[in-house]
Amino acid sequence: MIKTNYHSHSSFCDGEGRLEEYVEYALSQHMQALGFSGHAPLPFSNAWTMDEEALSLYLGQAQHLKDLYRGRIELYTGLEIDYLDETHNPAHSYYEALDLDYRIGSVHMLPDPENGEFYSVDGPTDEIEHLLNKVYKGSAEKMISAYYSQLQNMVRIGGFDFIGHLDLVKKHNRKMDFFSEKEEWYQSLITGVLDTISVYGRMVEVNTGAIARGYTDEPYPSPWILKMCFERNIPIILNSDAHKPSWVGFGFNEALEIITGAGYSRGMALLQGKWQEVQYG
Ligand SMILES: [Zn+2]
Ligand SMILES: [Zn+2]
CB 128 within 8 A of CB 176: yes
Residue 139's identity, in one-letter code, is S
pLDDT at 72 over 90: yes
pLDDT score of 86: 95
Check which CATH number belongs to the domain holding 134 and give it: 3.20.20.140
Give distance in angstroms: CA of 154 to centre of ligand 2.
Answer: 16
d(CA 70, ligand 2 centre) in Å: 25
Taking 80 as the threshold, does the pLDDT of residue 281 lie above it?
no
Cα–Cα nearest to 280, from 265, 269, 258: 265
- pLDDT confidence of residue 185: 98
| pLDDT at residue 109 tops 80 | yes
Of residues 2, 83, 1, 31, the one with CA closest to residue 242:
31
Question: Alpha helices of the chain — where are they, by DSSP H?
Answer: 19-28, 52-68, 93-96, 125-129, 140-157, 173-176, 184-200, 209-212, 223-231, 252-261
Q: CB–CB of 252/210 below 8 Å? A: no
- Number of structural domains, the chain? 1
Which stretches of 32-92 are assigned E, i.e. beta strand? Answer: 33-39, 74-82
Q: What is the pLDDT of residues 129-164, one digit of tens each?
A: 999 999 999 999 999 999 999 999 999 999 999 999
178-192, 201-215, 232-246: segment of lowest average pLDDT: 201-215
Of the pLDDT bands very low, low, confident and very high (cuts 50, 70, 90), residue 211 is confident
- C-alpha to C-alpha distances, 32 to 63, 67, 123, 278, nearest whole angstrom: 17, 16, 31, 12
- Which ranges of 10-115 would DSSP assign to H, the alpha helix? 19-28, 52-68, 93-96
Model pTM score: 0.97
Task: Return all residues near 184 (Cβ < 8 A) that are at least 6 apart.
Answer: none
Distance CA 239, CA 244 (A): 13
Distance 19 CA to ligand 2 centre (A): 14
Kindly state the percentage of the chain with pLDDT values over 90.
95
Q: What mean pLDDT do residues 10-39 have?
A: 98
**Cα separation, 30 vs 24, whole angstroms:** 10
Question: Residue 109 CA: which ligand is closest?
Answer: 1
Q: How far is the CA of 75 from the centre of ligand 2 (A)?
A: 17
For residue 180, what are the domain limits?
4-279
pLDDT value of residue 210: 86
Residue 95: other Cβ atoms inside 10 A = 16
- Give the chain's mean pLDDT: 96
Mean per-residue pLDDT, 115-125:
95
**CA dist., res. 274 & res. 272, Å (int):** 6
Query: Ion ligand 1 — residues with CB under 5 Å?
Result: 106, 164
Q: What is the pLDDT of residue 216?
A: 84
pLDDT at 32: 97
Give CA–CA dist 29/248, Å, rounded.
Answer: 9
pLDDT at 214 over 90: no
* Ligand 2 geometric centre to CA of 205 (Å): 11
Give tens-digit pLDDT for 220-256.
Answer: 999 999 999 999 999 999 999 999 999 999 999 999 9
**What does the alpha-carbon distance between residue 242 and residue 110 come to, in Å, rounded to a whole number?**
23
Closest ligand to Cα 15: 2
Q: How confident is the model at residue 215 (pLDDT cuts 50, 70, 90)?
A: confident
